[in-house]
Amino acid sequence: MMLSIKSRIIVLSLASLVFLLLAIFSEYSHIKQNVSDSKNSLITIEKISYISQLIHSLQKERGMSAIYFVKKGKSSYDSLVKQREITDSMLKNIAVSLASKNNLIEFIDELKKIRTFIDNNSVAWQLIKDFYAFEIDKLLTNISLNLIELYYQKEISHELYAVYYLLNARENLGILRADILHSYIKRELTQSEILEIGYKYSIFNNKFQYFKLHINKTPCDNIKKHLNDEFLKPLKLHITSTINKQKKLHKKSSQSWWEEATAAIDLMKKSEDTIFKNIIEYSQHNIQTQETNLFWYIAIAVILFVFISFLAISTVIHIFESVSIFTKYLSEVEKTEDFSLRVVPDSEDEFSQINKSLNKFVNYTDTILEEKENLASIDLLTGVMNRRSFTSTAQREVEQSNRYERPLSLIFCDIDDFKQINDTYGHNIGDEVLKSFANVVSSNIRQGDYIVRWGGEEFMVLTPQTDETQASELAQNLRKLTSEIYIEEAKKFTCSFGVAQITKGESLEGLIKRADEAMYKAKELGKNQVVLASKLR
């Protein structure tokens, strides 16, 4: 069946608007994703910068340990203790930056042990050096992994890798500083130590050359000026002389070596900080620019879409009016055969049809939006409320409870050993467990109660005008019904419940927290239990 001209015009106009809207939304999503990626990158860059500070603190602690290890004294020990305190303070704040808290705890324990060995002079210097080098190497690996996964603009890629290689070069120089200082203070240098120093110097030089390769591709002229081959000459001369034993190993040499190496390390650290500052400032400026562009894009896109929509609709209306008048005119001429007739604008019937079509279109759109809103408020797997819709509903109930002093209780539910169910029987069975539990709870609560899938295997039931005792009875009933659910593969499972009644003036967040704590107490007591928040006080 062929469409009429009018229908074709309508279809083409609507299709054009839809495609325009999709194009606008696609570009909006792309810009918004770039903003999100840039913010995440900035967080990672700041984290890398903090790890760099920790590495520097560990390097200083290693150097001071080398001094104290062979040169006991109150002054050197006090300096070492002060540096340890700085390191410990940084470790307390860096748990998020490391792989896991377990690794951090293990590292801190090992660090305490090695410090005790140093204080008691009960371990070889090689073991001390290896410990610090190993832990710093893990931190450098952490930075390397972050760089690999990092989303960043190509404008700062060379700066990021420059600072990474500078960190590696500084670490190798730190080891050289400690090794040579240790040898000077001992006033001897074995063949194996000479080989080790030569090896470490070659690695340092290699990493520094990589740094130069990247920094030369950046606009950091002040860094290029200070960190060039000239600043390495005193170090190279001292290391070469030490390897060739051209310098006598006495305290004066150790002092000059320590000062030269420390000055170089401090300069490298200062340069790292400068590069990080440049990167962070660039990233912040880039985020601000992207957010500004996003704002203007939305504003212009809305204006453009409204204008084109108005232009399309007005054009279609004009075409319909013209066709209607023209058709009417031709019909009248054919009927009367009077060619002296003139076109009289009369578009009442046509406007009526357009209005009816628009009303149908608006009704259809409204229906689609309503269905979309309903879908957005429901957890697709279990069919109960999702977290977003529940939060607004629960907030309203909390406000009414506080205003009218009505009781309100919350039941926090967590399916026991759900991860084990997933691992043992597969996610399909896990989904069946979630759906079965949600169905049982939905079927056994009042019409005015609310059930929500809070996340994963966690559910909550909000019971208006219900005190803690009544909510506890409901939770006990749900616990019993849950234990009777039978799924063929997984058989039976249980659930732990925490119950809390809102207190005067309490927020929704506070109510959820107390119910959550009660639920965790139920877990601790053996699971498949109901615990009241009031009993935890």
Residue 222: C-alpha distances to residues 128, 170, 173, 261, 457 (Å) = 36, 18, 22, 21, 55
Cα(201)–Cα(480) distance, integer angstroms: 70
pLDDT of residue 292: 87
Mean pLDDT of 474-485: 94
Which domains are delineated in the chain? Answer: 13-293 (no CATH), 387-536 (3.30.70.270)
Distances (CA, A) of 214 to 53, 209, 210, 283, 482: 21, 9, 6, 19, 62
DSSP three-state, residue 368: helix
pLDDT at 365 > cutoff 50: no
CB 413 within 8 A of CB 497: yes
User: Which tokens sit at 417?
Assistant: 């050993």
Instruction: For 107-123, write each residue's pLDDT tens digit.
Output: 888 889 888 888 888 87
Residues 6+ apart with CB under 8 A from 516: 412, 498
3-state secondary structure of 174: helix
pLDDT, position 394: 93
Residue 201 has pLDDT above 80, yes or no: yes
- Catalytic-residue membership of 46: no
- CA 433 vs CA 50, 104, 425: distances in Å: 44, 36, 11
Position 41 scores a pLDDT of 81
Condensed to tens digits (0 to 9), the pLDDT of residues 493-508 reads: 999 999 999 998 899 9
Rounded Cα gap, residues 33 and 151, in angstroms? 11
Measured distance CA(410)–CA(394) in Å, rounded: 10
Entry pTM? 0.52
**Overall residue count recorded for the chain in this entry:** 537
Per-residue pLDDT of 230-260, as tens digits, reads 777 777 877 777 777 644 555 556 677 778 8
**What are the tens digits of pLDDT across the range 369-423?**
455 665 667 898 999 999 988 998 999 999 999 999 999 999 999 999 999 999 9
The mean pLDDT value for 46-65 works out to: 86
Active-site residue, selected from the candidate residues 457, 473, 484, 506: 457
Read off the pLDDT band of 362 (50, 70, 90). Answer: very low
Q: Which residue has the higher pLDDT, 78 or 340?
A: 78
- Backbone region of residue 386 per phi and psi (left: phi > 0; alpha: psi in -120 to 50; beta: other values): beta
pLDDT of 398:
94
User: With contact defined as beta carbons under 8 Å apart, do 199 and 243 qualify?
Assistant: no
8 Å CB contact between 411 and 497? yes
Mean pLDDT of 502-524: 94
Predicted confidence (pLDDT) per residue in 343-354, tens digit: 555 455 444 444
Give the CA distances from residue 71 to residues 68, 115, 162, 241, 458, in Å, rounded to whole numbers and listed in that order.
Answer: 5, 16, 36, 23, 59
Q: Is the pLDDT of residue 29 over 70?
A: yes
pLDDT at site 2: 57
Average pLDDT, the chain: 81
> What is residue 46's predicted lDDT score, i.e. its pLDDT?
83
Task: Evaluate if residue 355 carries a pLDDT over 50.
Answer: no
The yes-or-no verdict on residue 62 having pLDDT over 80 is: yes
Q: How far is 436 from 457, CA to CA, in rounded Å?
A: 12
Q: Please check whether residue 257 is in contact with residue 177, taking contact to mean a CB–CB distance below 8 angstroms.
A: yes
Backbone angles phi, psi at 261, to 5 degrees: -65, -40
What's the pLDDT at 20? 76
pLDDT tens, position by position, 434-464: 999 999 999 999 999 999 999 899 999 999 9
If pLDDT is split at 50, 70 and 90, which confidence band does 95 have? low
For residues 381 and 16, the model is more confident at 381
Strand partners, 453: 459
Q: How far is CA 30 from CA 42, 148, 285, 496, in A?
A: 18, 22, 19, 43
Average pLDDT (122-139) is 85
Token pair in block for residue 349: 């019937």
CA 203 to chain centre: 35
Give 39's contacts (C-beta < 8 A, 6+ positions apart).
Answer: 287
Q: Please check the confidence at residue 200 and state whether its pLDDT lies above 90.
A: no
Residue 139: pLDDT band with limits 50, 70, 90: confident
